[in-house]
């Protein structure tokens, strides 16, 4: 049996995020959590205890007050966590992809090989973006974190500049790309390049030298019970 629970986010007390919602319901917090849990696209809820109203949202990563939010007394915001993506590890469940995502913020002492090691140590891998559908979900996921728009965000993908092919970490050839219009810009020497993206570029991919650093994305499969 899969257990999901609601965790209150105090920074959004008495604030309501106005956006498209997958469910409208009435009931207590337990009932509201259950309704969200059975809706594949519901990832967080707003609940008003006084009116027993429940509103579900498609997203679950608000880090602060959104421009879409306005003050409404009595509403509280809850993230819905899935035990198959343990909260203690910082991973969150993405229902549409049936997977667990995590964003590591920049650390100037870490580089691409470290990102692979850290993700592996956590039971996952550096994220592999292999379809436009996944690229769009990743973009939505990242949009709800507040960090500089010029920070590099790393995921799987590397090659040597004198080769045409790009590779995933297991050595298989990459076939999906979301390149920036001016990328890639290959060189002639045998130097290692990796892929990364920035929020300011709408998450279009760029190639860059592996000594650069930034944030990085890990992904792990859901735990089976």
| Residue 65 maps to a domain | yes
pLDDT of residue 19: 63
| Residue 92 maps to a domain | no
Render 41-109 in DSSP notation, one character per residue. Answer: T--EEEEETTTTEEEEES-----S--TTEEE-TTEEEEEEEETTS-GGGT-EEETTTTEEEEEEPP-TT
Which string of b and e fits 15-40 if b means at least 16 CB within 10 Å? bbbeeeeebebeeebeebbebbbebe
| Residue 33 maps to a domain | yes
pLDDT of residue 129: 97
How far is the CA of 180 from the CAs of 26, 177, 188, in angstroms? 45, 9, 20
Last residue of a domain, one of 82, 113, 143: 82
Is 88 a residue whose pLDDT tops 70?
no
More confident residue, 104 or 86: 104
Ranges 71-75, 103-107, 116-120: which has the least confidence: 71-75
pLDDT tens digits, 157-203: 999 888 889 999 999 999 999 999 989 886 666 688 999 999 999 99
**Count of domains forming the chain:** 2
Q: Which domain holds residue 177?
A: 102-221
Query: What rounded mean pLDDT belongs to the chain?
Result: 83
Q: What percent of the chain clears pLDDT 90, i.e. is strictly above it?
A: 37
| Residue 55 maps to a domain | yes
pLDDT band at 142 (very low <50, low <70, confident <90, very high): confident
pLDDT tens digits, 19-39: 656 667 888 888 888 888 777
Do both 28 and 124 map to the same domain? Answer: no
Do both 158 and 199 map to the same domain? Answer: yes
Ranges 79-88, 132-141, 173-182, 216-225: which has the least confidence: 79-88
Is 100 a residue whose pLDDT tops 80?
yes
Contact (Cβ atoms closer than 8 angstroms) between residue 193 and residue 161: yes
């Amino acid at each position: 049996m899969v257990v999901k629970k609601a965790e209150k986010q105090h920074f959004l007390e008495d604030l309501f995020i106005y956006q498209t919602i997958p469910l409208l319901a009435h009931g207590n917090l337990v009932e509201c959590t259950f309704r969200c849990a059975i809706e594949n696209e519901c990832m967080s809820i707003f609940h008003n205890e006084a009116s027993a109203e429940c509103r579900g949202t498609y997203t679950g990563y608000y880090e602060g007050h959104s421009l879409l939010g306005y003050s409404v007394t009595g509403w509280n915001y809850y993230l819905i966590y899935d035990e198959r993506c343990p909260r203690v590890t910082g991973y969150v469940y993405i229902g549409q992809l049936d997977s667990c995502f995590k964003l590591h913020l920049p650390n100037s002492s870490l580089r691409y090989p470290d990102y692979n090691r850290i993700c592996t140590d956590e039971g996952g891998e550096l994220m592999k973006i292999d379809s436009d559908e996944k690229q769009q979900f990743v973009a939505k996921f990242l949009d709800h974190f507040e960090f500089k728009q010029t920070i590099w965000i790393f995921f799987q993908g590397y090659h040597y500049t004198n080769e045409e092919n790009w590779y995933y970490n297991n050595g298989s050839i990459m076939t999906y790309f979301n390149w920036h219009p001016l990328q890639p810009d290959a060189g002639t020497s045998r130097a290692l390049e990796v892929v990364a993206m920035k929020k300011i570029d709408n998450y279009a991919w760029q190639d860059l030298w592996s000594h650069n650093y930034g944030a990085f994305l890990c992904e792990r499969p859901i735990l089976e019970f």
